[in-house]
Amino acid sequence: MLRRVLLLGVFALGACSTVETSGAGLASPSPTSSNDRIQLRVHTGNEHMDQVVYEIAYQQFSQVLPLREAEPYTGALEITFTSESQNAFLATSNAFTTGNGTANVWYTGGHVGTVTANGSSTTTSVASGTTLEWQNSTMLAVLKNNDGARLWSADYSYKGGWELSGWVVNTPEEAARLVAKRLKAQYVKDTHRGG
């Protein structure tokens, strides 16, 4: 039994959200300066989501990067986002059994004689529950200079079914907001350590 619990725990930890980053081009605590003008580029494969993720990413990353919406640019922050809805039906089943029966017993002066019994029963099972829905999302962020050299990159894999946040993150837009916020925090952590 203990072995099963440990295996389940290892499986659960292995399926949690993850982030991987790389800062190969970071020579200083921050890869950008106040003179930089970073263009934000977003790709989701859906025009509506492109606009939504652009605004979400701009709100988050403009706090830590000199994002600009007009040329000239000295670099780019490229964001790629995908999200997939998954769900599960959680239910309980209630069983109701109804039955009836009859018995004929003949009393013959001191002992029970012949017994004849007839019976029937019906069992009905009723399932009640709810459908839980969550997002599994990936956001890639790549910060490049004007020459195309990568200064910082991150790959955030969000597994909403394995996190408490998955109870409230039910749409791709909500997942994008959560993941962009976490990637911004990771960028700050990666680029401002010790500074």
At 163-176, the pLDDT tens digits run 888 888 989 999 99
Are 112 and 182 contained in the same domain? no
Are 101 and 164 contained in the same domain? no
**Paired tokens of 49:** 């989501």
Q: Are strands 38-43 and 75-107 parallel, antiparallel or unpaired?
A: parallel
Candidates 49, 113, 112; CA nearest to 82 is: 49
- What pLDDT, on a 0 to 100 scale, did the predictor assign at position 129? 79
Are 46 and 84 contained in the same domain? yes
Number of domains in the chain: 2
3-state secondary structure of 58: helix
Q: Where are the beta strands (DSSP E) in the chain?
A: 18-22, 38-43, 67-68, 75-107, 112-145, 150-159
CB 179 within 8 A of CB 137: yes
Phi, psi of 56 (to 5 degrees): -65, -50
Q: What is the CATH number of the domain that holds 74?
A: 3.30.160.670
Are 81 and 146 contained in the same domain? yes
Are 118 and 175 contained in the same domain? no
- What pLDDT, on a 0 to 100 scale, did the predictor assign at position 188? 93
**Structural domain that includes position 59:** 16-89+133-191
Are 43 and 104 contained in the same domain? no
pLDDT digits (tens, 9 = 90+) for 106-129: 544 555 555 555 666 666 666 677
pTM: 0.70
Are 144 and 66 contained in the same domain? yes
Are 120 and 96 contained in the same domain? yes
pLDDT digits (tens, 9 = 90+) for 6-27: 333 433 434 588 888 887 545 4
Q: Which residue has the higher pLDDT, 181 or 113?
A: 181
- Looking at the chain, the whole-number percentage of residues with pLDDT higher than 70 is 69
In 10 A of CB 156, how many CB atoms? 21
